[in-house]
Amino acid sequence: MSGLPLSCSTSASSPRIPPLSLSLTDASVRGVESLRARRDSFSVVGLIPESYFAPLDLPKIYGRVAPLHVDLGCGDGAFLFALAEQMPEKNFLGTERLLHRVKKACRKADKIDNMRVLRIETSYAVRHLLPKESVEKFHLLFPDPWEKRRHHQRRIVGLDFLRDIHAALVPGGVLRIATDHKDYFDQIQEVAERLQIFQLAVSDGAIYPSSTFEDKYKAEGIPIYRLELRKVSPVT
Protein backbone atom coordinates (compact mmCIF):
# COMPACT_ATOMS: atom_id res chain seq x y z
CA MET A 1 0.00 0.00 0.00
CA SER A 2 1.43 3.37 -0.97
CA GLY A 3 0.67 6.73 0.58
CA LEU A 4 1.29 10.37 -0.31
CA PRO A 5 2.87 12.87 2.05
CA LEU A 6 0.70 15.24 4.01
CA SER A 7 1.65 18.87 4.47
CA CYS A 8 -0.09 22.19 4.84
CA SER A 9 0.36 25.55 3.20
CA THR A 10 0.43 28.48 5.58
CA SER A 11 -0.96 31.99 5.43
CA ALA A 12 -0.35 35.16 7.36
CA SER A 13 -3.26 34.31 9.64
CA SER A 14 -2.19 30.75 10.42
CA PRO A 15 0.58 29.66 12.80
CA ARG A 16 3.83 28.37 11.46
CA ILE A 17 3.91 24.58 11.75
CA PRO A 18 6.62 21.97 11.25
CA PRO A 19 6.82 19.80 8.12
CA LEU A 20 4.83 16.60 8.29
CA SER A 21 4.49 13.59 6.08
CA LEU A 22 2.53 10.45 6.78
CA SER A 23 3.86 7.33 5.14
CA LEU A 24 1.55 4.39 4.80
CA THR A 25 4.34 1.89 4.24
CA ASP A 26 5.79 4.01 1.44
CA ALA A 27 9.55 3.43 1.29
CA SER A 28 10.24 6.32 -1.07
CA VAL A 29 8.46 9.07 0.94
CA ARG A 30 7.66 10.72 -2.38
CA GLY A 31 7.15 14.44 -2.56
CA VAL A 32 8.48 15.31 0.89
CA GLU A 33 10.45 18.18 -0.65
CA SER A 34 7.18 19.81 -1.78
CA LEU A 35 5.96 20.54 1.73
CA ARG A 36 4.09 23.67 0.66
CA ALA A 37 2.23 22.12 -2.22
CA ARG A 38 -1.29 23.29 -3.07
CA ARG A 39 -4.14 21.81 -1.04
CA ASP A 40 -5.69 20.06 -4.06
CA SER A 41 -2.64 17.77 -4.20
CA PHE A 42 -3.44 16.11 -0.88
CA SER A 43 -5.03 12.70 -0.49
CA VAL A 44 -3.94 10.71 2.55
CA VAL A 45 -6.46 8.26 4.00
CA GLY A 46 -9.18 10.91 3.87
CA LEU A 47 -7.14 13.65 5.56
CA ILE A 48 -7.16 17.16 4.12
CA PRO A 49 -5.00 20.17 5.08
CA GLU A 50 -7.49 21.44 7.65
CA SER A 51 -6.92 18.21 9.57
CA TYR A 52 -3.35 19.26 10.22
CA PHE A 53 -4.70 20.71 13.46
CA ALA A 54 -7.08 17.82 14.16
CA PRO A 55 -6.36 14.35 15.55
CA LEU A 56 -5.44 11.57 13.15
CA ASP A 57 -8.16 9.11 12.18
CA LEU A 58 -6.37 6.05 13.50
CA PRO A 59 -8.96 3.40 12.51
CA LYS A 60 -8.84 4.65 8.92
CA ILE A 61 -5.03 4.78 8.87
CA TYR A 62 -4.62 1.23 10.16
CA GLY A 63 -7.81 -0.28 8.79
CA ARG A 64 -8.75 -1.60 12.22
CA VAL A 65 -9.13 -0.69 15.88
CA ALA A 66 -6.28 -1.97 18.07
CA PRO A 67 -4.14 -0.76 20.98
CA LEU A 68 -1.58 1.82 19.84
CA HIS A 69 2.11 2.06 20.74
CA VAL A 70 4.04 5.19 19.72
CA ASP A 71 7.82 5.39 19.39
CA LEU A 72 8.79 9.03 19.90
CA GLY A 73 11.82 9.71 17.73
CA CYS A 74 11.88 6.31 16.05
CA GLY A 75 15.15 6.87 14.17
CA ASP A 76 15.65 4.24 11.49
CA GLY A 77 12.65 2.28 12.78
CA ALA A 78 14.60 -0.81 13.87
CA PHE A 79 13.10 -0.93 17.37
CA LEU A 80 9.59 -0.11 16.16
CA PHE A 81 9.73 -2.73 13.42
CA ALA A 82 10.90 -5.44 15.82
CA LEU A 83 8.16 -4.48 18.27
CA ALA A 84 5.48 -4.51 15.55
CA GLU A 85 6.60 -7.99 14.50
CA GLN A 86 6.55 -9.12 18.12
CA MET A 87 3.00 -7.84 18.73
CA PRO A 88 0.95 -8.18 15.52
CA GLU A 89 -2.27 -7.60 17.46
CA LYS A 90 -1.30 -3.98 18.19
CA ASN A 91 -0.78 -0.88 16.02
CA PHE A 92 2.55 0.97 15.98
CA LEU A 93 3.37 4.55 15.06
CA GLY A 94 6.80 6.14 14.87
CA THR A 95 7.50 9.88 14.83
CA GLU A 96 10.75 11.17 13.39
CA ARG A 97 11.91 14.57 12.16
CA LEU A 98 14.93 13.70 10.01
CA LEU A 99 14.11 12.66 6.45
CA HIS A 100 16.96 10.18 5.97
CA ARG A 101 15.83 8.31 9.09
CA VAL A 102 12.20 8.41 7.97
CA LYS A 103 13.15 6.79 4.67
CA LYS A 104 14.90 3.94 6.48
CA ALA A 105 11.97 3.48 8.84
CA CYS A 106 9.53 3.44 5.93
CA ARG A 107 11.47 0.70 4.17
CA LYS A 108 10.87 -1.43 7.25
CA ALA A 109 7.22 -0.38 7.51
CA ASP A 110 6.72 -1.50 3.93
CA LYS A 111 7.26 -5.10 5.08
CA ILE A 112 4.58 -5.16 7.76
CA ASP A 113 0.91 -4.20 8.12
CA ASN A 114 0.76 -2.67 11.60
CA MET A 115 3.54 -0.05 11.47
CA ARG A 116 3.25 3.55 10.27
CA VAL A 117 5.76 6.41 10.24
CA LEU A 118 5.03 10.10 10.73
CA ARG A 119 7.60 12.72 9.74
CA ILE A 120 7.09 15.52 12.22
CA GLU A 121 8.50 17.10 15.35
CA THR A 122 7.59 14.86 18.26
CA SER A 123 6.07 17.44 20.61
CA TYR A 124 3.75 18.68 17.87
CA ALA A 125 2.54 15.17 17.11
CA VAL A 126 1.80 14.42 20.75
CA ARG A 127 -0.03 17.69 21.36
CA HIS A 128 -2.02 18.08 18.13
CA LEU A 129 -2.22 14.86 16.11
CA LEU A 130 -2.76 12.01 18.57
CA PRO A 131 -6.37 11.70 19.71
CA LYS A 132 -7.09 12.02 23.40
CA GLU A 133 -6.80 8.72 25.27
CA SER A 134 -5.66 6.83 22.17
CA VAL A 135 -2.20 5.55 23.12
CA GLU A 136 -1.60 2.46 25.23
CA LYS A 137 2.16 3.02 25.52
CA PHE A 138 4.70 5.64 24.52
CA HIS A 139 8.34 4.67 24.03
CA LEU A 140 10.84 7.51 24.49
CA LEU A 141 14.23 5.92 24.01
CA PHE A 142 17.43 7.90 24.40
CA PRO A 143 16.06 11.40 23.68
CA ASP A 144 18.63 14.08 22.90
CA PRO A 145 20.12 15.00 26.31
CA TRP A 146 21.32 18.45 25.26
CA GLU A 147 24.28 17.99 27.57
CA LYS A 148 25.41 21.61 28.00
CA ARG A 149 23.63 23.29 30.89
CA ARG A 150 22.65 26.28 28.79
CA HIS A 151 20.84 23.90 26.42
CA HIS A 152 18.88 21.98 29.06
CA GLN A 153 15.74 23.97 28.27
CA ARG A 154 15.70 22.24 24.88
CA ARG A 155 15.18 18.81 26.43
CA ILE A 156 11.87 17.38 25.31
CA VAL A 157 10.69 16.15 28.70
CA GLY A 158 9.17 19.04 30.61
CA LEU A 159 5.90 19.95 32.31
CA ASP A 160 3.98 20.72 29.11
CA PHE A 161 5.26 17.64 27.30
CA LEU A 162 4.27 15.31 30.13
CA ARG A 163 0.83 16.94 30.32
CA ASP A 164 0.37 16.27 26.60
CA ILE A 165 1.55 12.68 27.03
CA HIS A 166 -0.93 12.23 29.87
CA ALA A 167 -3.79 13.52 27.69
CA ALA A 168 -2.93 11.15 24.82
CA LEU A 169 -2.59 8.04 27.01
CA VAL A 170 -5.51 5.75 27.73
CA PRO A 171 -6.40 5.40 31.43
CA GLY A 172 -3.57 3.42 32.97
CA GLY A 173 -1.39 3.93 29.88
CA VAL A 174 2.39 4.04 30.22
CA LEU A 175 5.26 6.27 29.15
CA ARG A 176 8.41 4.14 28.91
CA ILE A 177 11.72 6.05 29.01
CA ALA A 178 15.36 5.03 28.61
CA THR A 179 18.39 7.32 28.72
CA ASP A 180 22.13 7.02 29.22
CA HIS A 181 22.31 10.40 31.01
CA LYS A 182 21.82 10.21 34.78
CA ASP A 183 21.16 13.94 35.21
CA TYR A 184 18.43 13.86 32.54
CA PHE A 185 16.94 10.78 34.19
CA ASP A 186 16.86 12.61 37.54
CA GLN A 187 15.26 15.65 35.89
CA ILE A 188 12.53 13.52 34.32
CA GLN A 189 11.72 11.96 37.69
CA GLU A 190 11.59 15.38 39.32
CA VAL A 191 9.24 16.82 36.69
CA ALA A 192 6.94 13.78 36.88
CA GLU A 193 6.75 14.04 40.68
CA ARG A 194 5.88 17.73 40.47
CA LEU A 195 2.93 17.04 38.16
CA GLN A 196 1.41 14.24 40.26
CA ILE A 197 -0.37 12.77 37.22
CA PHE A 198 1.90 9.72 36.90
CA GLN A 199 3.04 6.98 39.20
CA LEU A 200 5.97 4.63 38.83
CA ALA A 201 4.76 1.63 36.88
CA VAL A 202 5.61 -1.92 37.76
CA SER A 203 7.11 -3.60 34.70
CA ASP A 204 4.58 -5.70 32.80
CA GLY A 205 7.28 -8.29 32.19
CA ALA A 206 7.38 -7.68 28.46
CA ILE A 207 10.74 -8.33 26.81
CA TYR A 208 11.37 -5.43 24.46
CA PRO A 209 13.74 -5.55 21.50
CA SER A 210 16.89 -3.46 21.75
CA SER A 211 17.10 -0.15 19.94
CA THR A 212 20.13 0.84 17.85
CA PHE A 213 21.32 3.22 20.57
CA GLU A 214 20.81 0.64 23.31
CA ASP A 215 22.97 -1.89 21.49
CA LYS A 216 25.67 0.76 21.04
CA TYR A 217 25.68 1.86 24.68
CA LYS A 218 25.66 -1.70 25.99
CA ALA A 219 28.63 -2.57 23.79
CA GLU A 220 30.49 0.44 25.25
CA GLY A 221 29.57 -0.48 28.83
CA ILE A 222 27.55 2.72 29.35
CA PRO A 223 24.85 2.49 32.09
CA ILE A 224 21.25 2.80 30.92
CA TYR A 225 18.59 4.33 33.17
CA ARG A 226 14.98 3.26 32.73
CA LEU A 227 11.68 4.59 33.95
CA GLU A 228 8.03 3.67 33.35
CA LEU A 229 5.35 6.20 34.26
CA ARG A 230 1.73 5.12 34.47
CA LYS A 231 -1.08 7.62 33.90
CA VAL A 232 -3.21 8.36 36.94
CA SER A 233 -5.88 10.96 37.64
CA PRO A 234 -4.56 14.35 38.75
CA VAL A 235 -4.38 14.92 42.49
CA THR A 236 -6.94 17.55 43.47
**Using one digit for the tens of pLDDT, what is the confidence trace for 175-205?**
999 999 999 999 999 999 999 999 988 666 5
Question: Is residue 14, in this structure, part of any structural domain at all?
Answer: no
Percent of the chain with pLDDT over 90: 53
Q: Which residues pair with 138 in a beta bridge?
A: 70, 175
* Strongest mean pLDDT among 4-18, 36-50, 204-218: 204-218
**pLDDT at residue 119, as a whole number:** 86
Question: Is residue 5, in this structure, part of any structural domain at all?
Answer: no
Question: Is residue 4, in this structure, part of any structural domain at all?
Answer: no
The domain that holds 180 is classified in CATH as 3.40.50.150
Q: Which of 62-76, 115-129, 158-172, 203-217 has the lowest mean pLDDT?
A: 203-217
**For residue range 117-163, what is the model confidence (pLDDT) as tens digits?**
998 889 999 999 999 999 999 999 999 875 677 767 878 899 999 99
- Tell whether pTM > 0.85: no
Number of structural domains found in the chain: 1
Residue 26 in this model has a pLDDT that exceeds 50: no
Question: Is residue 40, in this structure, part of any structural domain at all?
Answer: no
Residues 6 or more apart whose Cβ sits within 8 Å of residue 103: 27, 28, 29
Question: Is residue 41, in this structure, part of any structural domain at all?
Answer: no
pLDDT band of residue 36 (cuts 50, 70, 90) is very low
Question: Is residue 48, in this structure, part of any structural domain at all?
Answer: no
The sign of the CA dihedral 22, 23, 24, 30 is positive
Q: Any catalytic annotation for residue 144?
A: yes
Among candidate residues 57, 144, 183, 186, the one labeled active-site is 144
Residues spanned by the domain of 153: 55-231
**pLDDT at residue 177, as a whole number:** 94
Residues 100, 20: contact at Cβ < 8 Å? no
Residue 87 in this model has a pLDDT that exceeds 70: yes
Residues 156, 122: contact at Cβ < 8 Å? yes
The whole-angstrom separation of Cα 121 and Cα 151 is: 18
Question: Is residue 198, in this structure, part of any structural domain at all?
Answer: yes
